[in-house]
Amino acid sequence: MREKLKALAELQNVDLEVASLRKAADVHPRQIAELERELGVARSAIEAERARVSDMEKQKAQLEQNITDEKDKVKKWETRLSEQRSTREYSALAREIDIAKKANLTMAEELAELTKQLGGAREAIKGKEADYATKQQGLSGRMTELRGKLGEAESQVKGLEGRRAEVASSVDATLLRRYEVVRKKKLPAMVGVVAGTCQGCNMNVPPQLYNQLRTGLGTDICPSCNRIIYAVEALQETPAASK
């Protein structure tokens, strides 16, 4: 029975190592995703700034076109002004020309302010792009490092899975089936009982059950946590004498 327990204990050691590797490696994908999110935020900020500049450029082009149209209109009106015979028509047209010129002056001021803002926005984009390039270089290196660690862990797990198949073949079939059922719910699935206490849940097992484990050096199920339990003496080279 001792050999059966040793085989199962060896299998569980492999499973615990695999679980430990996977738990440690689980953090890498999250870290990579967080770094990618950070880069995405910085990239979105640049895209938003570019969209803002694009809108401003469209506004500038439209404003320039409006100014040109208004100037052309004023020229035509000024040509017509000398052709007016009626004082009233002359005054009305002169008033329209004056209004158009004032509107042009206002638009010219708006254009100057918009051009200034556009220049600032373009400089802001250059700054954000430079910051992004620096951040991307640093984060890309970090992500490459994390992917390397993840690949290394996966390689180690693959090697241990091969080892597990080899070890599992030497475990008693009945004991293995029971172990696999428990392992799907909790790990470690097999724990020792020390001084009558289950080392999985720290609850005392019935004295009679504990004595049976010590004398028979077999296994049973913990009434509290449903793990496979055994007396620690069963895995010792020289079993302790039963009391």
* Position 238 pLDDT exceeds 70: no
Of 110-114, 163-167, 234-238, the least confident: 234-238
| 222 contacts: CB under 8 Å, gap ≥ 6 | 191, 198, 200, 201, 203, 205, 228, 229
Query: What's the predicted TM-score (pTM) here?
Result: 0.58
Provide long-range contacts, Cβ within 8 A and 24+ apart, for 202-209: 205/229
Give the residue with greater pLDDT, 20 vs 239. 20
Mean pLDDT, residues 173-191: 94
What whole-number percentage of the chain has pLDDT above 70? 97
Q: Could you tell me the pLDDT band of residue 57, with boundaries at 50, 70 and 90? A: very high
Q: Which two three-digit tokens encode residue 168?
A: 């599992």
Mean pLDDT, residues 1-6: 83
DSSP 3-state helix, strand, coil percentages of the chain (rounded to 5)?
75, 5, 15
Amino acid identity of residue 119, one-letter, is G
SS (H, E, C) 169-191: CCCCHHHHHHHHHHHCCCCCCEE
Of 79-93, 132-146, 148-162, 220-234, the least confident: 79-93
| Region label for 172, one of left (φ > 0), alpha (ψ between -120 and 50) or beta (otherwise) | beta
Mean pLDDT value across the chain: 89
User: Domains in the chain, please, with CATH?
Assistant: 2-168 (1.10.287.1490), 173-235 (no CATH)
Contact 122, 53 (CB under 8 A): yes
Amino acid identity of residue 120, one-letter, is G
pLDDT at 3: 84
Q: Could you tell me the pLDDT band of residue 239, with boundaries at 50, 70 and 90? A: very low
User: What gap in Å lies between CA 75 and CA 60, rounded to an integer?
Assistant: 23
pLDDT at 134: 87
Reported as type and span, the H/E element at residue 194 is strand 190-194
Of 3-7, 61-65, 200-204, the least confident: 3-7
Question: Which residue's structure tokens are 């052309």?
Answer: 72
